[in-house]
Structure 1
Amino acid sequence: MILNAELPGVPKEKIDIELVNNQLRIHAEKEEEKETTNKKYHFSEISYGSFTRTYNLPRTVNSQSIKADYKEGVLTVTIPKSEENKGKKIRIE
């Protein structure tokens, strides 16, 4: 299973990922400061925002092998299935 989250402008250090009781929680904070100076005026603005998303995962995931990658504003979380829960072919005797 692969989960993608678009987080443009959010620094990697401001993203928190947690797994508790088969719930994957993604929390991110964005703070942007903009300043414009002209001969006639000076303008300063700070915008702040945060978000949290929680996803219920099936019990068949291998929580020890979950990996996360963040490139160009896209967080990719790879959630593999557990080998023991993938199923097994049963031979008829």
Structure 2
Amino acid sequence: MENFFRRTGIDVPEPVRRFLQGEAEGGLRVEEYRDGNTLVVRTDIPGIDPDHDIDISVTDETLHITARRTEPDVKDLPGYRSEVRYGEFSRSVPMPWGANPETVVASYIDGVLEIRVQLPEHPGGPATKVHVSRGRNQSPDAPENYVT
């Protein structure tokens, strides 16, 4: 497809070109793993300024990552061609039960954003055994003619 655009001289805007080439995804690709009692989420975002181009927040037990990459000023120069994705990218990652949002730390080294979240030493609370009765539902809210 790119060769077609280049041969015909059609100037196609970057988002349209990416869509036609099957690159319509606007999300960040992440790798996620546990390192002991720490959840580690990593994503490659080269060529940005982490102080201005990355937003990380935690709401409703979900880690939200947003990053922005702006096109360089050289895009109007003759012969400019780019396969780099520009614009805003985001991803939401559910945090495991018991993860403390106050422990989220992030670092950006060599184009890789790494986010670490402390997990509880004993995930989940103690299990509660539920008794299964035979016969009628014993719930006080159940209708009288309701049979389980």
Structure possessing the higher relative contact order (Cα contacts under 8 Å, 6 or more residues apart): 1
Task: Provide TM-score, normalisation by structure 2.
Answer: 0.48
Where do 5+ consecutive residues of structure 1 fail to align? Answer: 37-41, 88-93
Match of 1:23 in 2: 62
How far residue 86 of structure 1 moved from its aligned partner, in angstroms, is 4.5
**How many corresponding residue pairs?**
81
Superposed, which structure 2 residues align to 1:1-93 within 5 Å? 1-12=39-50, 13-35=52-74, 43=77, 48-83=86-121, 85-86=122-123
Measured on the aligned residues, the alpha-carbon RMSD in Å equals 2.6
Where do 5+ consecutive residues of structure 2 fail to align? Answer: 1-38, 125-148
Distance between the aligned counterparts of 2:86 and 2:116, measured in 1?
28
- 1:32-67 residue CA offsets vs partner (Å, 9 max, x unmatched): 31428xxxxx7177x841111001111221211110
4+ aligned runs moved over 3 Å, structure 1: none
Q: Which has the larger radius of gyration?
A: 2
Of Structure 1 and Structure 2, the greater helix share is in 2
